[in-house]
Structure 1
Amino acid sequence: MAAEKVREIAVPQGVTVTVSGATLTTKGQKGQISREFRFPGITVKADAGKVIVETSKDDKQTKATVGTYASHIKNMVTGVSEGYEYHMKIVYAHFPIQVKVEGKDKVTIGNFLGERKARLANIVGETKVVVQGDKLVLTGVNKEELGQTAANIEQACRIRKRDPRVFQDGIYITTKA
C-alpha cells in the first residue's frame, strides 16, 4: 500500500479529542491519554467527529510518519473508549512460581526455577495488573504502556545458560484484546 499524505481517523460518540499545539489529548469513559506529535511538515487537526493528520511534503519518511501518527491516534481513541486487556499465563514444571503485585509499580516473581531471590518487573504508567491463580490480567487505556508492562514481566522470567527446549518456565502472553 502506498503511503498517503492525508489520514482521517473517525472519533466515536463519547470520545473528545483536543489538539493544543503539538499535544493531542483524548478523553473517554475509560480515562484520558495525552501525547505529543511533533514532526516537521506534519499537522494534526481535530474537527467534528474526526482527527486529520496531513502533510504537504512528498518524501517517503514524512508520508510514513503520517501513517504512524494515524495508528497512534487510533489506538488512543480505542483505549479511552474500550480499553485494552492482556492475558498472561504462569507456566512452570517443578517449582511453583509465586507472583505478587507490590504497590502500583512492581510485580514480584518469587521461587522462579527454585531461586531464593525474587525477580522484579516494572509496571509502566497506569497499567493495572491482577493475579488470578495461574493467570495475570493486565488492563489499561494506553496500548504502549500495557505492551511494555507485559514485555517487562516476560523478560523478568528469561532463562539464560540453559536449554530452552527443557526449561520452558516463565510467564507468557496468551491473548491481547
Structure 2
Amino acid sequence: MSTEQIEKFQEVVDIPAGVKVTLKKNMMHFEGPLGKTHKNFRNIPVNIEIKEGKVILKSQGYRKRDYSILHTARSVIRNLCEGLVVGYTIKMKIAFAHFPITVKVQDRTVLIENFQGERSSRITKIIGNTKVVPKGEDVILTGEVWNHITQTAANIELRSKVKDKDHRVFLDGVYVYEKKKGIEK
C-alpha cells in the first residue's frame, strides 16, 4: 500500500478557539463557552491523538468500512466542538385538526396533552442538556450537543404519532420544520 493510500486513512480536525479538548484513555472531554460535554470512543475503532490544537484520527484498518468509521468519528468531534461554540436549534410545529394539543415541560420530561382527545398525557424524555421551550404552536429545542437535540426531537415526534388510523387523513402531531446552527432565545 502506498503512502498516499495510507494518508487517506488519517484525518485532522482543528479545534476552534475557546474550546478545550482533553483525552483520557478512550473518553474525550470538551469544554467551551456554552458548556461541557464528553464522548466515549471505546466502541469506535479509531486511534486518537491531540497535538497543538488539533485532533489527529488514524484508522485501525485499510478497508472501506474503516474509512467510513474514520469520517464518522471526525464528524462527531467536529459537531461537538462547533456546538460548544455556537450551539444548535430545532423548531417543531404542533399540528392538530380537532383536539388542541398542548406541550408542557416538567422536570426532564415533555408532556403531550390532549393528543386526539386522550385523557392521559403522552410522556417522553429530554436527552442530555437539551432545553425545551413550548411557545404557542411551536416547540423550540436548543443545546450544544447535536445528537441529544435531534434524539429529543425524534422522541417527541414518535410519541405524537397517530396509530391505527390513516396517517394521510389524521395529520395530528408535533413535527420538525427547521434545524439551524446558533441558539435562539
Shorter-chain TM band: over 0.9
CA separation of 1:56 and 1:159: change in aligned 2, threshold 3 A:
closer
Separation (CA, whole Å) in 2 of partners of 1:56 and 1:114 = 54
Following TM superposition, by how much is the alpha carbon of 1:140 offset from its aligned partner in structure 2, in angstroms? 1.0
The amino acid that maps onto 2:138 is: K
Establish whether residue 136 from structure 1 lines up as the match of residue 117 from structure 2: no
Question: Which residue of 1 is the match for residue 29 of structure 2?
Answer: 25
Out of 119, 144, 154, the position equivalent to 2:157 is: 154
Following TM superposition, by how much is the alpha carbon of 1:60 offset from its aligned partner in structure 2, in angstroms? 2.3
1:123-162 per-residue CA deviation (whole Å, 9 max, x = no partner) reads: 1111110011110110111111111100010001111111
Following TM superposition, by how much is the alpha carbon of 1:57 offset from its aligned partner in structure 2, in angstroms? 2.5
The amino acid that maps onto 2:179 is: K
Establish whether residue 34 from structure 1 lines up as the match of residue 38 from structure 2: yes
Question: Which residue of 2 is the match for residue 89 of structure 1?
Answer: 93
Overall identity of the aligned pairs, in %: 37
Matched-pair contact (CA < 8 Å) for 1:53–1:66:
yes
Gaps of 5+ in 2: 181-185
Question: Which residue of 2 is the match for residue 79 of structure 1?
Answer: 83
User: SS where residue 79 of structure 1 aligns?
Assistant: helix
**Aligned Cα RMSD in Å?**
1.7
Following TM superposition, by how much is the alpha carbon of 1:164 offset from its aligned partner in structure 2, in angstroms? 1.1
TM-score, length basis structure 1: 0.93
Aligned length in residues: 175
CA separation of 1:39 and 1:115: change in aligned 2, threshold 3 A:
closer
Establish whether residue 7 from structure 1 lines up as the match of residue 11 from structure 2: yes
Matched-pair contact (CA < 8 Å) for 2:22–2:28:
yes
CA separation of 1:56 and 1:163: change in aligned 2, threshold 3 A:
closer
Question: Which residue of 1 is the match for residue 112 of structure 2?
Answer: 109
Separation (CA, whole Å) in 2 of partners of 1:35 and 1:92 = 38
User: SS where residue 134 of structure 2 aligns?
Assistant: strand
User: SS where residue 120 of structure 1 aligns?
Assistant: strand
1:15-43 per-residue CA deviation (whole Å, 9 max, x = no partner) reads: 11111111111110001111111358621
Separation (CA, whole Å) in 2 of partners of 1:163 and 1:85 = 31
CA separation of 1:41 and 1:126: change in aligned 2, threshold 3 A:
closer
Following TM superposition, by how much is the alpha carbon of 1:72 offset from its aligned partner in structure 2, in angstroms? 0.5
Out of 44, 49, 53, the position equivalent to 1:45 is: 49
Separation (CA, whole Å) in 2 of partners of 1:72 and 1:41 = 14
Matched-pair contact (CA < 8 Å) for 1:55–1:63:
yes
